[in-house]
Amino acid sequence: MTATDGRAGGMPPGGRAGAATAASRDDLGDRVLTLPNALSVLRLLGVPVFLWLLLGPHADGWAIVVLAVAGFTDWADGKLARALGQSSRLGALLDPAADRLYIIATLVAFVLRDVVPLWVVGVLVGREVVLGGTLLALHRAGWPPLQVHYLGKAATFLLLYAFPLLLLADGENPVAAVARPIANALTVWGGVLYLLAGVLYVVQAVGLIRGARFAGGAS
């Protein structure tokens, strides 16, 4: 069996362990009009609104509300997909895309407003650039995007809680003094887990690509 045959049949090339994560995305349905997908689209539509609230009228309170709704829908769409049996390939792509857009949009807005230093944004956006290259390499090797790692979900959870606290901490009032250490702690832990999840994603992708090349050379 060639590497291409293995991918078409849902099997890892050369029988390599760990490729089930990639193949499992192929087992998802092709449905588009589902409640979880609608929630993911709603979350995506909130990104430009969130940016405008932060950079336009500086309506931080409403921006926090949008971010809170995004965090709730991020939790709800996964729960509903499993409970209703509506997991889909589109949903598996929309969910992490929305998470990343919120994180990048927030970081860009925070830099423009001097809430966080530029190097923090450089590190986290650099992670996204590396993952983008990894996705292209996976596609060229015939693999679909990998499932989101639980560390990535945990990192997103921490960062989405850290961001509104960073807004609250941007001041010289008693609320800012209380929010600042909590916001900084969540940002550090979320950022570390976010980078670690990216490293694990790249490691897993490299294993799949090398396995495909090994199987192709041995066939």
Q: Say if residue 7's pLDDT is above 60.
A: no
| pLDDT the model gives residue 159 | 86
From 61-65, 69-73, 190-194, the region with the lowest mean pLDDT = 69-73
pLDDT per residue over 130-170, tens digit each?
Answer: 998 998 998 888 887 787 778 888 888 888 888 888 888 88
Mean pLDDT computed over every residue of the chain: 79
| pLDDT the model gives residue 28 | 57
Cα–Cα distance between 71 and 102 in angstroms, integer?
10
From 26-35, 46-55, 74-83, 116-125, the region with the lowest mean pLDDT = 26-35
What is the DSSP-derived secondary structure letter of residue 15? Answer: G
**Residue 29 phi, psi (nearest 5):** -75, 170
Cα–Cα distance between 44 and 15 in angstroms, integer?
37
Name the percent of the chain lying above pLDDT 90.
Answer: 16
What is the DSSP-derived secondary structure letter of residue 136? Answer: H
Number of helices (H), then strands (E), in the chain: 8, 0
Instruction: Locate the domains of the chain by residue range.
Output: 19-218
Average pLDDT over residues 111-123: 86
Q: Say if residue 13's pLDDT is above 60.
A: no
| pLDDT the model gives residue 175 | 86
Question: Domain spanning 19-218: which superfamily?
Answer: CDP-alcohol phosphotransferase transmembrane (TM) domain (1.20.120.1760)
Tokens of 49: 């609104």
Residue of 13, 70, 12 whose CA lies nearest to 219: 13
pLDDT per residue over 171-206, tens digit each?
Answer: 788 888 898 999 999 999 999 999 999 999 999 999
From 57-61, 89-93, 113-117, 188-192, the region with the lowest mean pLDDT = 89-93
